Structure 1
Amino acid sequence: MIDIENSDIGIPEYTYSNVNFKSSLQNNISDFGDFFEHYMLKNKPCIIQNVVSDWECAKKWVTEDEINYDYMVEEYGDMDAPVANCKNIQYNAQCKSNMKVHEFLKYLQCNTNNELLYLKDWHLRKNRPNDKFYEILPYFAMDWLNEFALDNKDDDFMFVYIGPQGSRTPLHEDVYCSYSWSVNIVGRKKWILFPPGEEDKLKDRFGNLPLLFEPEKHVNVKYYEIIQEKGDALFVPSGWHHQVANELNTISINHNWINGCNIEFVWKALQKCLVSVENQIAEFKDTSEYSIECQLILKSLFGMDFQSFLDFLCYIAKKRMSQLQGESNTSLSKYSLGINIIKFDLKNILKVMNSIQVHPVFQKENILSSIKNDLLEIRTAITKVL
C-alpha cells in the first residue's frame, strides 16, 4: 500500500538552503512518506542507496562487478536498440542510429576504435514485457506517465542505458519537465544537476545552452555534483537541468514520470513553451490558422500539445474517480494506492483543471472542442467528492 498521512499537503514553491551545491548527496531515506514529504513535494534531488539486490538484472547482467557480456548477448543480442555517437554532434545533439545489441556489446567489450558510442533510451521492458528483470521501487510508484502509457498501449518512458567509460548525456531538461529516476545496475555515473533557474546563467545571447557545462568557464552557478555508484537510485526533480557522464562501463535503468506532486510544473512548462512558440510566429497572429499552427509546433517541441495534455489529465482523473468508488486501485500492476494518495491526485488535477479553464486557448472555438465538456464534467465531479 502506497499512501500518505496528510491528504491536505500541497505543492510548495522552490526553496533552497545555504548549502554547498558543489557536493555529493548522501541521503538516508527511511520510507515512502519520508521521500514524499522531503524530496518529491519539495522538488529536491536525492540518492537512495543499495536498492537492486533483489533485482534479477543485478544477478544476471553482472558478474564480479563487470557486465556479463555472455549473458547479455545470449539473451538480448538479436534485438535492435538506439545508439548515440557522443563524438558526432549535430544541432547541439548527439546523432543516433539503431544497432544490434550484440554488435554494440562487442564494441563495448573491445572498444578499440575511435568512436564513443552510448546505447540509450532502449525500450527493453516494452519489447520484453514478460522479462521481470527489475521491479519499480515503492518511492517511484506514483507514476501517471507510465500508467497512462501501459493502459493505452502507447510508448512508455522506461529505458535501459548501456555506456562505456567516458560516454555522456549532454546538458538537458527531461521531457515534459517530468521527474526522472535512474538506478545503476553496474558501474558509476557522475551527474551535475542545476536548481531551476541556474541554467539561465549558462545560455548564450540567443538563449541556447552549451552542450556541456564546464565549471571553469561558468562562474557563480549553483549546482550539485553527484556520484552515483552501483546499486544507487537517483531522483531527479522537475525542471532540474542536468548532464551525466559514465565514469566506468555502466548499465542503468531510467524512468521519466509525472504525478500529483509535479503535474503543476508540467502544466507551467507547457504554457511557457506555448508562449515561446507564439512569439516565434507572431507575424502570423492575425491568420485564421495561427492557433492551430501554434499547437502543432508546440507538440513537436514539447512532446505534447494542449489536447494531448488534457487527454492525459482527464484519463488519470477518471481512473482515480473510479478508484475512489471502489474499483482496483493498483498502480503499475503492483502497488495499491491508498485513499489519501487518490484524493491527493484528484486535488492537484483539479487545481490544474481550474487553471486550464481560464487559459485563453481553452476559450478558442477551434481548439480543444472535443474535450471541453469532458473536462468541465470531470472538474465538477471532483469538486463534489473532495
Structure 2
Amino acid sequence: MINIEIDSIIDDISPHNYIDCDIDTIDFCDINYNGFVENFMLKNLPCVVKNISLEWECASKWIEGNKINYDYLQNTYGDLEAPVADCNNIDFNAHCKSNMKVGEYMDYLKNDKKDGTLYLKDWHLRRIRPSDQFYNVPFIFGSDWLNEYATDHQEDDFMFVYIGPSKSWTPFHADVYSSYSWSVNIFGRKKWILLPPKEEEKLKDTLGNLPLLFNPEQSQNVKYFEILQEKGDAIFVPSGWHHQVTNLLDTVSINHNFINAFNIEFVWSSLQTNLLSVEKEIEEFKHTPEFQEQCQLILKSVFGMNFVDFLHFISHIAQKRLNQMNSENYVGFNNFTLGIKHIMFDLNILLKIINSVQNHPLFSNKYIAPNEIDTIMNIKNSILLKVK
C-alpha cells in the first residue's frame, strides 16, 4: 500500500489565470504527491509526466522490440470482446462503434494494408481481468472518487485501454462529468491539442455546437496547446479542458477519468450549468408536472449524471471517509491509504458541496425523496462533528 497525504498549505492555493499558463514537463522520479496537488490539480493545469510506466507489466509484455506484441495480445486476450470505433464513419458528431474480438482486431492491426481506420477504445480490461495487474495506478492519481465509487458499487468503471493504428483519432471533447483524466502511452506517439476552459466557447456555431475537430488554422484568437506524447509519457488533463487526440504511430495507452476533492467543485458547477441549459431548452414545458423529471433524464443523457446521482456519489464518499476516520482504516481507491489530513480535507470540501447542494432549489422540492434528504443531512451533521 502507498500512503498519500497533503499539507495544510494547500488551502492557500488560488485559481490560476489560464491566459498566462503554460504546460510543464516533469519526471515521475522527481514528483511528490503534495507538490503535484499544489502545482497541477488545485490550479487545474495540465502537465506531461515522463517515465511513468517503466515498471508496468504491459510495457514489457505488450511490446516486443519496436512494435506491438500482437501474438501475446492475441494469445492472452484474443477471445475477449472490446469496443472498436470506426474513425471513418461519423454519426451525430461521434465515431460509430461496434464490438470485435480482440484476436480479430490484432489481425487487422498487424496488416500493412488495413481496410479503414479502426480504433479499439474504452476497453474495460481491468474490470474484465481484475487479477491481471498489467499496470499500476500512479500514486499522484491515487485520490480517485470516481473509480472508488464504481468499484464499491460494482458498476462500470472509468479505467480504459486504447489501442489504435497511425491516423486513428479521438474527436474534440471535454471529459465526462467535467472530470480529470490521465493517459499513459505504453507505446507509440500521440498528438494532443488542449484548450483552456472557456476557449471552446469561441468555436461554437450559431446553434451552440462544437466542431468535430478543432482546426487551429481556421480559428483565430483561440488559445491552445499542442503536445507530442511519447512512449512512457503521461498526460494529465484537468477539468473543463477540451481536447482532441491523434495517433501519429500505432499506439497503446492506459486512460482513467477521475474526480476527487480538488475538482469536485468544478464538477458540481458544471452539473448546475448543464441543468440550467436543459431547463432553458425545454422551458415551454416548465409548468407541466413532468418538467423536472424530464430535465433530469436529459441531464443524465448530456452530462452523464443527474442531481440524484450526484447526491448518491458525494454521500457515499463522505460516509466512507467518516467510516475511515472512525475505524482508522484509511484505504481508499486501489489500496492507496489516505493520510488523516487528506481525509479531513476531503470532508471539508464535501461539507462545502453539501451546503451548496442544500441551497439548490431542487433539494427542497418534492423531486428529492425525504429519505435522501435525511441521509445527506445526517452525513452533514456527522462531518460537522469531525471538522469543527
Offset at 1:226?
0.8
What residue in structure 1 maps to residue 360 of structure 2? Answer: 359
Measured against aligned partners, the alpha-carbon deviations of 1:55-95 in whole angstroms (never above 9, x if no partner) come to: 11011000113100110000001110000000100111110
What residue in structure 2 maps to residue 47 of structure 1? Answer: 48
Offset at 1:9?
1.5
What residue in structure 1 maps to residue 382 of structure 2? Answer: 381
Question: In the alignment, is residue 328 of structure 1 matched against residue 319 of structure 2?
Answer: no
What residue in structure 2 maps to residue 6 of structure 1? Answer: 8
CA contact (8 A) 2:50 2:232 kept: yes
Offset at 1:26?
2.0
Structure 1: how far apart are the matches of 2:18 and 2:271? 24
Structure 1: how far apart are the matches of 2:369 and 2:131? 38
Structure 1's 10 and 87: CA in aligned 2 closer, same or farther, altered over 3 A? farther
Matches within 5 A, 1:139-150: 139-150=140-151
Worse overlay, 7-16 or 37-46: 7-16
Structure 1: how far apart are the matches of 2:7 and 2:329? 21
Worse overlay, 122-131 or 290-299: 290-299
CA contact (8 A) 1:7 1:340 kept: no
What residue in structure 2 maps to residue 68 of structure 1? Answer: 69
Structure 1's 365 and 297: CA in aligned 2 closer, same or farther, altered over 3 A? same
Structure 2: how far apart are the matches of 1:178 and 1:11? 20
Residue 73 of structure 2 aligns with an amino acid whose one-letter code is: M
Offset at 1:111?
4.5
Measured against aligned partners, the alpha-carbon deviations of 1:306-345 in whole angstroms (never above 9, x if no partner) come to: 1111001000000001111234211223221000110111
Worse overlay, 366-375 or 123-132: 366-375
What residue in structure 2 maps to residue 135 of structure 1? Answer: 136
Consecutive unaligned residues of structure 2, counting only runs of 5 or more, are: none
Offset at 1:31?
1.3
Structure 1's 223 and 331: CA in aligned 2 closer, same or farther, altered over 3 A? same
Offset at 1:373?
0.9
Matches within 5 A, 1:156-235: 156-235=157-236
Taking structure 2 as the reference length, what is the TM-score of the superposition? 0.96
Matches within 5 A, 1:96-111: 96-111=97-112
CA contact (8 A) 1:25 1:226 kept: no
Identity %: 54
Alpha-carbon RMSD: 1.4
Structure 1: how far apart are the matches of 2:304 and 2:82? 21
Structure 1: how far apart are the matches of 2:335 and 2:62? 24
What residue in structure 2 maps to residue 247 of structure 1? Answer: 248
Worse overlay, 63-72 or 237-246: 63-72
How many residue pairs match? The answer is: 383
Offset at 1:385?
1.1
Residue 186 of structure 2 aligns with an amino acid whose one-letter code is: I
Structure 1: how far apart are the matches of 2:119 and 2:10? 44
Q: Kindly indicate which of the two structures has a greater share of residues assigned to helix.
A: 2
What residue in structure 1 maps to residue 18 of structure 2? Answer: 16
CA contact (8 A) 2:15 2:42 kept: no
Structure 2: how far apart are the matches of 1:312 and 1:268? 15
Residue 27 of structure 1 aligns with an amino acid whose one-letter code is: I
CA contact (8 A) 1:188 1:247 kept: yes
Offset at 1:17?
5.5
Measured against aligned partners, the alpha-carbon deviations of 1:165-186 in whole angstroms (never above 9, x if no partner) come to: 0000000010000000000101
Structure 2: how far apart are the matches of 1:56 and 1:96? 29
Structure 1's 184 and 374: CA in aligned 2 closer, same or farther, altered over 3 A? same
Structure 1's 147 and 2: CA in aligned 2 closer, same or farther, altered over 3 A? same
Structure 1's 63 and 351: CA in aligned 2 closer, same or farther, altered over 3 A? same
CA contact (8 A) 1:7 1:344 kept: no
Structure 2: how far apart are the matches of 1:355 and 1:11? 21
Residue 180 of structure 1 aligns with an amino acid whose one-letter code is: S
Worse overlay, 110-119 or 196-205: 110-119
What residue in structure 2 maps to residue 308 of structure 1? Answer: 309
Measured against aligned partners, the alpha-carbon deviations of 1:97-118 in whole angstroms (never above 9, x if no partner) come to: 0011111111111042441110
- What is the DSSP-based 3-state SS (H/G/I as helix, E as strand, rest coil) of the residue aligned with 1:88? strand
Taking structure 1 as the reference length, what is the TM-score of the superposition? 0.96
Offset at 1:30?
2.4
CA contact (8 A) 2:13 2:38 kept: no
What residue in structure 1 maps to residue 273 of structure 2? Answer: 272
Offset at 1:33?
1.4
Question: In the alignment, is residue 27 of structure 1 matched against residue 26 of structure 2?
Answer: yes
Measured against aligned partners, the alpha-carbon deviations of 1:199-247 in whole angstroms (never above 9, x if no partner) come to: 0111111111111011110011101111111001110000000000001
Residue 274 of structure 2 aligns with an amino acid whose one-letter code is: C
